Amino acid sequence: MGGLDMERFPTVQELFDLTGKVAFVTGGARNLGFDMALALAEAGADVAITSRKLEDAKQSADVIAQATKRRVLPLQLDVRFEDQVERAVDAALAEFGKIDILVNNAGNVISTPENMPLEKRSLEHWHYVVDVNMTGTFLCSKHVVAKSMMPRKSGVIINIGSIAGMIGKDRRHYRGTDMGGWTIDYCAAKGGVINMTRDMACYLAPHGIRVNCISPGGFWRNQPEPFVKAYSQSVPMGRMGQDGKELKGAVVFFASEASSYCTGQNLAIDGGATAW
């Protein structure tokens, strides 16, 4: 057709295929981390998943392995601590021989109406939230890049940000609930992750390593009805995100050759919340 040699071009299925790849997913035992680990395995990758509780990682690894017939390695890891990061990365390399895809998903926030306000937030809370969400992303990237990606001149890093790192919190969502919501340290950390993505992408591009970020909006977690209603009304699509599907396509896109000319980008999966 038109003189084109169609055999030169991969099919869409081939572009998204992760067969032969190895992924390392932090915080991969539950919620969106589990969804992304499952998606990568469904696309053909073997996967190491980490959790602060090894038993949680084991249970989720069994579910993913049974569903996909892929090799899944459960690992204990608190990403705040460099010695634990190094041990987990070494364990994954001992099992699989390489890490092609790193998903920096582990994150947390400590938030109640009492400790959430700026004037009441403790330095202890600040350090914990920044260390889990931003320092952990740095530490995991450092060791995976040094031990596997740079030597092989190939790799993909997918950082998980949040729209909390893109906009300020609308406190009206929380009226009539006992929820604390985003905190200043969480917003700062996720904003840091997003810009860390850009700098890492520029630095690592000459080494054949791509770095992108996914920033989820609000996903349904059985929150109080007043919150769900208020949040949904503030989103152009009129609802919260749904577990089980709405991050799976994005993570496979960034992990695969389908995004081979894409680096340094932040993709908001938020129903249009940041588009107003």
For residue 2, tell me if it sits in a domain.
Answer: no
Higher pLDDT, 118 or 273: 273
For residue 271, tell me if it sits in a domain.
Answer: no
Q: Which of 186, 203, 231, 261 is catalytic?
A: 186
Residue 189's CATH number: 3.40.50.720
Question: Given a cut of 70, is residue 154 above it in pLDDT?
Answer: yes
Say how many domains are in the chain: 1
d(CA 147, CA 156): 14
User: What's the pLDDT score for residue 13?
Assistant: 97
For residue 273, tell me if it sits in a domain.
Answer: no
For residue 276, tell me if it sits in a domain.
Answer: no
For residue 231, tell me if it sits in a domain.
Answer: yes
For residue 275, tell me if it sits in a domain.
Answer: no
For residue 237, tell me if it sits in a domain.
Answer: yes
Enter the pTM of the model.
Answer: 0.95
> 7 forms bridges with which residues in the sheet?
none
Reported as a single tens digit per residue, the pLDDT across 64-107 is: 999 999 999 999 999 999 999 999 999 999 999 999 999 999 99
Number of H helices, E strands in the chain: 10, 7
| 174 assigned to active site | no
**Structural domain boundaries enclosing 245:** 8-265
Which residues contact residue 94 at a Cβ distance below 8 angstroms, ignoring those fewer than 6 apart? none
User: What's the pLDDT score for residue 185?
Assistant: 93
pLDDT confidence bin for 7, thresholds 50/70/90: confident
User: What's the pLDDT score for residue 169?
Assistant: 85
Residue type, 22: V
Reported as a single tens digit per residue, the pLDDT across 234-248 is: 999 999 999 989 999
- The dihedrals phi and psi of 15, each to the nearest 5 degrees, come to -65, -35
SS3 content of the chain, % helix, strand, coil (to 5): 50, 15, 35
For residue 147, tell me if it sits in a domain.
Answer: yes
Q: Distance from CA of residue 197 to its chain's centroid? A: 12
